[in-house]
Structure 1
Amino acid sequence: MFMQSISVTGKSNLYSNMAWDMWIECNMKKGTNMKSGWLSILQNEKQLLVHSRNVNNVAWMQVAHNALANQKETKRKHKECGGNSISRR
C-alpha cells in the first residue's frame, strides 16, 4: 500500500518525513477510538481508491454507450443507386 509522507515539525530532522501509519502509532494514545479509526481508514485506503477508479470506468463506459446509442443513422445508399450519378439517355 502506498503511504503518504507528512511533515510533522516542518524542520529537517529524523521525524520530518514519516508515513501516516507511523505518525499515528507514535503520536496517538494506544487503544483510543480515534487512533483505531484512523488506522482503519488507512487500511481501507487502497480499496477506496480501487472503488473510485471502477466507478469512473463505469461512468466512462456509460457515456460511450449512450453516445453510440444516440447517434443518428445516416442514409446508406450504394453509389450506383443514386439518382444524380446515373446519366440516362
Structure 2
Amino acid sequence: MKAWFYSFEMALLAMVGLRVLSGLIELTAAGLMLRFNSVEKAVGLNAMLVIIGPTIFITSIAIGLVGMSDRLSLSKLGFIAAGVLLILIGIRK
C-alpha cells in the first residue's frame, strides 16, 4: 500500500494549513456571534475578521509564488504579481 502524503509539496501543505486555520477562525467567530447573541458584538467580531482574511490571502499567495518560482519564468512571475496587485487594488475601498 502506497502512502498518499509523501507526494504533496511543502508549499501546498502550508497553503492548505493557512486556509484550514482561516476557516477555523471564521467558524469560531460565527459560534461566538451566536453565543453572545448581540448585533453589536457580531459587528465587532466581523471587524476583526476583516484583518484576518486579506492577511491569509496575501500570505497564501506569497507561499504559492515561492513554491512555483523554480518552475516559472521571470516574466510569468511578473504577470502573476501584477494580477495579485490588481486584485488588491480592486478590493480597496
For this structure pair, what is the TM-score category when the shorter chain's length is used for normalisation? 0.3 to 0.5
1 or 2, which has the higher helix percentage?
Answer: 2
1 or 2, which has the higher strand percentage?
Answer: 1
Q: TM-score, normalised by structure 1?
A: 0.35
Q: Whose radius of gyration is greater, 1 or 2? A: 1
Q: Which has the higher contact order (CA 8 A, sep 6+)?
A: 2
